[in-house]
Every structure is written in C-alpha cells, then in structure tokens.
Amino acid sequence: MVRLCGACLGLFAFSIAIIQGLMANNPAETTLVRGLEAMFVFCLIGLCVGWVAQRVLDEHAVRRHGEMFKEVEEDEPGQQTQTSISADARGEPARAAPGQVVAGT
C-alpha cells in the first residue's frame, strides 16, 4: 500500500506537470525536468501518506481483533479453548495465522 500510494501520486504529478508544460508551450527539456522533479517530490509525499494509512489500518485491525475476541483473551492462560481441544482430538497440527509461530512445530 505504501509503494502504491507513492507511485500513484508520483505519476499523477508527472502527468500534470507534462500537460501544463505542453499547454504553456515550454521547451521539452524544461517540461521533462519539471515533470521529473514533481514526480520525485510527490512520490516521497505519497510514500509518507501510504505509510500513515498503513499504520492506521494496522492499528484498527488490532483494535477490532481485540474487540471481537475479548472473551477468548480473558480466559486463563493455562486453559485450552474449545477450538484447540478439537484440533488436538483430531490429531491435526495447530495452524497459525501468517507471521505467527505455533509452539511445538
């Protein structure tokens, strides 16, 4: 998401600068230099905006997860939940979410 925002804003600024340069009948070198400068600056701005947006979405997801599974988190640490008991009873290995480590594997 971060790189996507940077790329979109950079290309948008580049296209606007090129269109403005062509409409003003500026020389090609001047138009391209200004377009590349605008693309670089707005790419950096887009990267910052994308990073902030990613952080906001991550924090929202963590908060929603905490709200949805509040009763599971309030259980005692040594107590097994119903889903882990049923997975152990079937003899299947426990599965983890991406980026999460499962004990015993």
Angle CA 12–51–7, to nearest 5 = 25
pLDDT tens-place string over residues 68-95 = 888 766 665 655 555 545 454 555 555 6
Share of the chain above pLDDT 70, in %: 68
Residue 83 pLDDT? 53
Residue type, 9: L
pLDDT band at 5 (very low <50, low <70, confident <90, very high): very high
pLDDT tens-place string over residues 15-62 = 999 999 999 999 999 999 999 999 999 999 999 999 999 999 999 999
- The residue count of the chain comes to 105
Q: Which two tokens stand for residue 51?
A: 């990073």
Q: Spell out where 11-52 has E strands.
A: none
Rounded to 5 degrees, φ, ψ at 81 are: -85, 170
96/60 Cα distance (integer angstroms): 21
